[in-house]
Structure 1
């Protein structure tokens, strides 16, 4: 994925954080953007194993995770740790914006 400029990332962060007053609301803003824009399902590799990213979720402790599946197995992986495929899905720029905001 071609990396976005700092200016573009800052604009996306501002869009996700409209009317947010604290970090909890900011995380929810990014979750909403990911849920609205990230094209799922898509394939990626986690620790050398091919998986399907089935959906984005928000945990009770306000962590954005992706639900990865392989056969009947499921694993929630923090969005900040998810390796993206060489040809990232539509909306993957929101993952980059979230990482930019979080300092990851």
Structure 2
């Protein structure tokens, strides 16, 4: 899967933020889209270690992923999550959220 182009990102952002009145509402909109569309679990690497991304959550108005390795669990900001190749289904929502934070929200 290739990264979505700007027009595709704009369409995803518009869908996630359609009824939002502030940044908090927009983050919740993206969380909802990720919860509905991101295929979990998936494997990726964090700090050179293979981990399983087993879930997503909201923490202090930021979206985080729950990474697991054995019995250990850690929450990582979704912005810092390296995506595997190929990325999981629904990863375009992560790209849209990143784009919104960098360019639209700024």
Question: 1:24-103 to 2 correspondence within 5 Å?
Answer: 24-59=24-59, 61-103=60-102
Deviating 4+ runs (over 4 angstroms): none
Task: Give the TM-score taking structure 2 as reference length.
Answer: 0.95
1:3 to partner: Cα distance:
1.4
TM-score by length of structure 1 reads 0.96
- SS of equivalent to 1:4: coil
Alpha-carbon shift at residue 31 of structure 1 (Å)? 0.2
**Structure 1 residue 26: Cα displacement:** 0.1
CA distance in 2, matches of 1:12, 1:63: 18
| 2:40 alignment partner, SS class | coil
Q: Name the Cα RMSD after superposition.
A: 0.9
1:32-68 Cα shifts (integer Å, max 9, x gaps): 0000000000000001000000001001x11100000
Give the secondary-structure state (helix, strand or coil) at the position aligned to 2:12.
Answer: helix
